[in-house]
Amino acid sequence: METIFSPITSLLGWLASLLYEFFGNYGLAIIFLTIIVRGLTVPLNVRSAKAMMKQQALSNKQAEIKRKYPDDKQKQQEELQKLFQENGASTFSGCIVPFLPLFFLFPTYYIVQRPLRYITGVSSSNIKALGELLNVSGVRADNIKLINFLHKDGKAMSAAVKSGLIKMEQIPDMKFLGLDLGRTPTWSVSKISDEPSIYLPLLIIPLLVLLTTVLQNIMINRMKPDAKQKREDKKRAKNNPAFNAPEESAAKTAKFMNIIMPAIMLLTTFALPAAFGFYWIIGNLMGILQQVLTYYMFTKPYEEKKKELAEQKKNVFKKKKKAELATAGAGADGSVSTPGKKSGKKKK
């Protein structure tokens, strides 16, 4: 997996090293790395939002095709594909963007786990030699283990620097806002009681990961195109079962993911250094900001325009109906009958 993501990991590692050199702070380097990475996906998010709105605008025509060919699935797909091509819509563009953060997940994981290699520029061979010198195993895959050991043991720090394998300025300070991002959050009462000043504040990381993940999912569901219409349809279906439509498989999958993803992320933050959870929190906040901007720039104007067109159609229908009633109420002699009055000859 590391080999597959090696080019993007090297690029992001180089960027993280520049940020660390500029700010001189590991936490700030992670924050701005996240902002830049998420910022690069903004144009793709905008494109995805436009694609989704195009699909929503064609929903009536899609339903018409399905009604026209109810038993011919192949013909349905052919006609739908033709419809999308003629209107410049795509069935996949709206599905790719939500997975982009996962594409950056592994490279960021490697950078967070190996700050000596990717951020402060210590070679892999030197890191391995330091592990052997200090009798610390697994340091090539997990540099943070070595960093924590060096910060805890002053003699080990001195021996490492004297060996020439690492410079003092290449050992990053993992603390940020009172949180040791090199440590892994824990729910173990005994471990927390042993070092409460370290592990107690770290509990805020899993909590914020859970809250921001749930909040982001809620905002995505409430701010996507036609979300309001779907909520109204759902309420109407509760009052009248005749309006109840079977839930689509995509909707079921999305609902399942909204439940399972926060739980997975919560468990992950208790298995990895706090720096990774910190990255995920910043990423979620960036995702929420992107969702708000996309909504007010594209989704809301689209919904207002759609509402305006619906009102215009409604008014046209009312005028047409009124004209038909007026025509139907006209007599053969051109007179209009008035309700409540009887017509006929007056008796002498």
* Per-residue model confidence as pLDDT tens digits over 268-311: 889 888 888 888 898 889 888 888 887 887 777 777 777 777 77
- What residue type is 109 in one-letter code? Y
Residue 94 has pLDDT above 70, yes or no: no
Our measurement of the distance from residue 112's CA atom to the centroid of its chain's CA atoms, rounded to an integer in Å, reads 21
Phi, psi (rounded to 5 degrees) for 317: -65, -40
pLDDT at position 202? 92
What per-residue confidence (pLDDT) applies to 263? Answer: 84
Contact 182, 150 (CB under 8 A): no
Residue 343 pLDDT more than 60? no
Residue 348's pLDDT band, with cuts at 50, 70 and 90, is: very low
Average pLDDT value for the chain? 78
Is position 25 within any domain? Answer: yes
Give the model's pLDDT for residue 335: 52
User: Does 236 fall in a domain?
Assistant: yes
DSSP string, 222-233: HHSTTHHHHHHH
Q: How much is the pLDDT for 185? A: 92
At 182, list the tokens. 């090199």
Q: What type of residue is 103? A: F
pLDDT confidence of residue 92: 54
Strands 175-176 and 179-180: antiparallel
Beta strands in 11-64 (DSSP E): none
Query: Radius of gyration over alpha carbons of the chain, in Å?
Result: 31
Closest CA relative to residue 64, chosen from 76, 52, 82: 76
Side-chain-facing half-sphere of 17: CA atoms under 13 Å: 18
Nearest Cα residue to 82 out of 96, 98, 97, 68:
68
Cα angle 286, 99, 80; round to 5: 120
- At residue 346 the predicted structure's pLDDT band, cuts being 50, 70 and 90, is very low
Structurally, the chain folds into a number of domains equal to 1
pLDDT tens digits along 48-77: 666 666 666 666 676 777 777 777 677 777
Q: Is residue 163 part of a domain?
A: no
- 171: CB partners within 8 A, 6+ apart: 116, 120, 147, 150, 151, 157, 160
What would the pLDDT profile of 153-205 be if each residue is shown by its tens digit?
A: 889 999 999 999 999 989 988 888 888 888 889 988 888 888 888 899 999 99
DSSP string, 172-213: ---EETTEETTSPP---HHHHHHSHHHHHHHTHHHHHHHHHH
Which domain, by its residues, includes 65?
Answer: 6-120+172-240+249-305
- Among 42-46, 56-60, 319-323, the minimum mean pLDDT is found in 56-60
Distance of CA 34 to the CA centre of its chain: 14
Instruction: Report residue 90's pLDDT band, with 50, 70 and 90 as the boundaries.
Output: low
Distance CA 218, CA 1 (A): 32
Task: Give me the amino acid identity at 328.
Answer: A
Within a domain: 326: no
Say yes or no to pLDDT of 232 above 50: yes
Distance from the Cα of residue 2 to its chain's centroid = 24
Q: What is residue 17's predicted lDDT score, i.e. its pLDDT?
A: 92
Over residues 135-148, the mean pLDDT reads 88
Q: Look at 89 and 322; give whichever has higher pLDDT.
A: 322
In a domain, 132, yes or no: no
78 domain residue, yes or no: yes
In this structure, the chain runs to a length of 348
Q: What is the pLDDT of residue 280?
A: 87
**Which range (118-132, 226-240, 294-308) has the least confidence?**
226-240
- The answer to whether residues 243 and 233 touch, using CB atoms and an 8 Å cutoff, is yes
pLDDT score at 125? 92
Per the DSSP assignment, residues forming a β-bridge with 336 are 330
Angle at Cα 299 formed by Cα 298 and Cα 305, nearest 5°?
A: 90
Is 45 within 8 Å of 97 (Cβ atoms)? Answer: yes
Candidates 162, 137, 269; CA nearest to 212 is: 269
Distance CA 313, CA 63 (A): 19
Residue 330 lies in a domain: no
Residue 319 domain-assigned?
Answer: no
